[in-house]
Structure 1
Amino acid sequence: MATLKMTGLPAMRRQHLLAEFSGLKQVCPDGVFVSLTPGDPMLWSGVIFVRQGPYAPAILRFHISFPDTYPQLPPLVTFSTDIFHPLITPLTTYVHTTSDMTDSGGTVSATDEERLPPGGFSLRHGFPAWFGRGARSRQTSGQYVGTPPPLPPRGSHHSTPESKRTAVEESNSPSGLLFAQSEATHTTPNISTYDVLTYLSSTFSDDSVLDSIPLEAAGNPGAWHAWRSRQRGKGRGNPVVDVKGDVKKFEEGGPPGGKGGGLTLPRKPGEWNWEGVWEERVKRGVQGSLSEAVL
């Protein structure tokens, strides 16, 4: 019984993170190095040495902050190196939310708790199981951590002795605790820090990973469009995929054109001329990463 209650404690999660970190000393993705913040195992620092692919030979510094509810909720990955990347928000502004845009109609509140900070890395594409308003609401309701349902107020006229007795029995019974832990087991994404680090590395070294990122998962929509333009210029037109990975349609090689003479409407970002933008911005970012004084 005590074991069931202890599994939800932050101290146990810290021990789990320390165990994962020890494992990374033996096996870590190629070119990725991480270290613990002294006295705080929930905050990691890391460096990625990009040895191949479109971002080589960049040296990128990042931090990983793990919430107390990890691994039920995702860690926050932030890059301190300024780099033009479809999944990384610019260091100067908030431009992206990790909320499910298809459910919200694309309208995002300025107080959205899932909003990425400057330099934040979007994990929506690599780990969709961690995201979505439905999952977040279940987290806050206590389903994942096995929190017993609250008892009615003692003086409430809506409560009865029978309802109080039933609630207490259900929350403290072995079957109730086992059910809560079973719920946590089935709803917790089976994702390790090794998986996260491997995915981080692949988004800088593997063209196919960048090609598969949907716009809904992008942390920097401008970089997303610039990358697509770069790929089209190389004859690598890619299907547009939604956040679930389903193919919607194939991208066109040129700007959309309409027949007839109507009013000219402002062009959307996808219709802008992105030619050469990705190459120039990434070149500057890579050069800047190699000249950082901290390295």
Structure 2
Amino acid sequence: MATYAIGDIQGCLEPLQCLLEEIKFNPRHDKLWLAGDLINRGPDTLATLRFLYRLRDSITIVLGNHDLHFIAVYYGLRKRGKNDTLDELLRAPDCADLVYWLRQQKLVHSDPALNFTMVHAGIPPQWDLTEALARAREVENVLQSDNIEHFLTGMYGNLPCRWSDDLVGIDRLRLITNYFTRMRFCSAEGELELQTKENAHAAPIGFAPWFSFLERKTRTQKIIFGHWAALEGRTNIKNVYALDTGCVWGGSLTALRLEDERKFSCDCLA
């Protein structure tokens, strides 16, 4: 038995199947962790989500910003973007079932036995793992509730950009969501900078990659994340594993075997 974590798939089914063949994945014995952005932008969004749904007993998922965006579009609370590839999925007869399944997924997953934690974008430096899991549950509970449409309506936006325990309501939920699904650069105090999407050296003054702060409270945890293709799978930081290697942009799809930290990849065609 082995556990493999895979970066952003974004509807690229052929590279995913190539990678599963490369690692000789057996759903009867092995487990998959998926670091979010399962769908959108790639050519096979519907087929990818159906494929993963069939494997659901063998996979653990954290949601990414594209997954949340799809849910908002499904509820009619957000317009499709010009580069979205969601039309076939939205017309599918099983779309409601797939949306319901996604709504049950996590924002942060941690396994003490494997000593790994997975999140789509990152964990802000001011939170330890216990705090991160608690904040994730706040959003997860709303996603699974009858109040989901209120959350999805207010989910979009860049403010507030800095955490305070006094935050309440949709402002609190929006910032938690932005930390876990959109963050790249922030300050040591956790102030978000959400405009810059280039590599780690492009940090604006006063900001740095979220994983680079020496006093980050999760620095002793092994953390897997996706979201940041410009890193090309490199953080140069101990215990932090970047798995978005730009498959949807013609890069590769990458898996990390957690038991020995060996990486595997399959090339993707843009």
Of Structure 1 and Structure 2, which has the larger fraction of its residues in helix?
Answer: 1
Of Structure 1 and Structure 2, which has the larger fraction of its residues in strand?
Answer: 2
Q: Which has the higher contact order (CA 8 A, sep 6+)?
A: 2
Q: TM-score, normalised by structure 2?
A: 0.27
Q: TM-score, normalised by structure 1?
A: 0.25
